[in-house]
């Protein structure tokens, strides 16, 4: 008979249809018991349709029977909800004082830089009325699921994504919901999406300090918040307001600040031009009482890749530094 490790290793090769992440990474393997005669495997049913469960049953049968010495395999499903299965180490929300400063872009770049480091990453698009994550990642697939929840959609880099945009009949449909409904959608994304095992879940918040960011802060176990701003912002006041809400009212640490559209590199000379005025990074970091994690330049190639749904093809040295800084501040705040 194979060992438990060998069985688990084989189960890690079984990809769940609809999301294409493995049974083990989705944390669906609840128990493996090996006796002289047979192997019993207990899987969680969370968000899996009946059809998917049947498919997985026969796939796991085939896979495990191929291991040497296996005679009998018994597979059953335990009724479980996604929230009982999910194991997320750090939940990081990206916030801004106002819209259009590149909050979703920073959320996307944070996820990409961490995924490239080999971490398991997901993005929860909590901007219910202005979702832009799927477009940036070029995702149009519809999430599958059952009565207990939804499977996220996987990006090309392997980032799990859930957004209201993926559930709307048409990508361009407007979501005109009132506060309570928006709050409900966000908590559903947290509780009813099968995220499985993740190192980082990045939450793209709607702009400002209104209802929706408040719901996220109240109902999600955030490790901390990243505040995004641009040099256009007239006062550090907007940042201070966001910081106040997070830190003082909700007791959530500010992990750091990111300045977007910091400067433009002139293609001919390589000279940095601060077209929106002098960088306010130091001032904002001070206002937030947190480190400056990144300064992202205005990059026409980045804008182009976002429009094309190809943000994952963006490379820049500063992204590596961003990932390093993020990992460091998260570790420092989780301790």
Ligand X SMILES: Nc1ncnc2c1ncn2[C@@H]1O[C@H](COP(=O)(O)OP(=O)(O)O)[C@@H](O)[C@H]1O
Per CB under 6 A, the list member of 52, 90, 132, 163 interacting with ligand X is 132
Nearer to ligand X, 303 or 332 (CB): 303
Q: Does 129 bind ligand X (CB under 6 A)?
A: no
Which of the listed partners (ligand X, Mg ion, none) does 100 bind, with a CB threshold of 5 to 8 Å by partner kind?
A: ligand X
Q: Does 164 bind ligand X (CB under 6 A)?
A: no
CB-nearer residue toward ligand X: 2 or 208: 208
104 lies in the binding site for ligand X (CB under 6 A): yes
Between CA 312 and CA 308 the distance in angstroms is 11
Residues 6+ apart with CB under 8 A from 193: 47, 82, 124, 149, 150, 151, 152, 162
Q: Which of 102, 122, 196, 213 binds ligand X (CB under 6 A)?
A: 102
CB-nearer residue toward Mg ion: 165 or 262: 165
Could you tell me if 232 and 276 are in contact, meaning their C-beta atoms sit under 8 angstroms apart? yes
CB of 179 to ligand X, least distance (A): 19
The total number of residues shown for the chain amounts to 335
In the stretch 304-333, what mask flags binding to ligand X with x, by CB under 6 A?
--x---------------------------
Which of residues 103 and 135 has its CB atom nearest to Mg ion in the complex? Answer: 103
Task: Choose, by CB under 6 A, the member of 298, 318, 327, 328 that binds ligand X.
Answer: 298
**Pairing state of beta strands 38-44 and 197-204?**
unpaired
User: Does the footprint of ligand X cover residue 238 (CB under 6 A)?
Assistant: no
* Number of residue whose CB is nearest Mg ion: 104
Q: Contacts from 54-58 at CB under 8 Å and sequence distance 24+?
A: 55/17, 56/14, 56/16, 56/23
What residues make contact with ligand X under the rule CB under 6 A? Answer: 96, 99-105, 132, 260-261, 296, 298-299, 302-303, 306
């Amino acid at each position: 008979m194979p060992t438990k490790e060998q069985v688990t290793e084989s189960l890690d090769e079984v990809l769940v249809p609809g999301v294409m992440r493995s049974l083990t990474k989705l944390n669906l393997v609840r128990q493996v018991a090996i006796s002289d005669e047979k192997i019993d495997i207990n899987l969680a049913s969370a968000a899996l349709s009946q059809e998917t469960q049947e498919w997985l049953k026969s796939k796991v049968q085939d896979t495990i029977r191929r291991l040497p010495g296996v005679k009998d395999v018994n597979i059953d499903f335990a009724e479980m909800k996604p929230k009982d299965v999910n194991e997320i180490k750090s939940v990081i929300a990206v916030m801004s004082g106002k819209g259009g400063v590149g909050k979703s872009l920073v959320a996307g770049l944070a996820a990409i830089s961490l995924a490239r480091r080999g971490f398991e990453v997901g993005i929860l698009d909590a901007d219910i009325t202005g979702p832009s994550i799927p477009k940036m990642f070029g995702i149009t697939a519809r999430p599958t699921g059952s009565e207990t929840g939804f499977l996220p959609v996987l990006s090309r880099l392997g980032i799990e994504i859930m957004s209201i945009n993926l559930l709307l009949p048409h990508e361009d449909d407007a979501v005109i919901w009132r506060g309570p409904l928006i709050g409900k959608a966000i908590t559903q994304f947290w509780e009813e999406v099968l995220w499985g095992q993740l190192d980082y879940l990045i939450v793209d918040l709607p702009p400002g300090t209104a209802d929706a960011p408040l719901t996220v802060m109240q109902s999600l176990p955030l490790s901390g918040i990243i505040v995004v701003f641009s040099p256009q912002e007239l006062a550090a006041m907007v940042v201070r307001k966001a910081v106040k809400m997070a830190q003082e009212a909700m007791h959530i640490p500010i992990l750091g600040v990111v300045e977007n559209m910091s400067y433009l590199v002139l293609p001919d000379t390589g000279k940095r031009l601060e077209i929106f005025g002098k960088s306010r990074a130091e001032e904002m970091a001070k206002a937030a009482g947190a480190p400056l994690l990144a300064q992202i330049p205005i990059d026409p190639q980045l804008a182009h890749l976002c429009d094309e749904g190809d943000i994952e093809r963006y490379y820049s040295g500063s992204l590596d530094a961003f990932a390093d800084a993020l990992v460091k501040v998260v570790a420092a705040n989780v301790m």
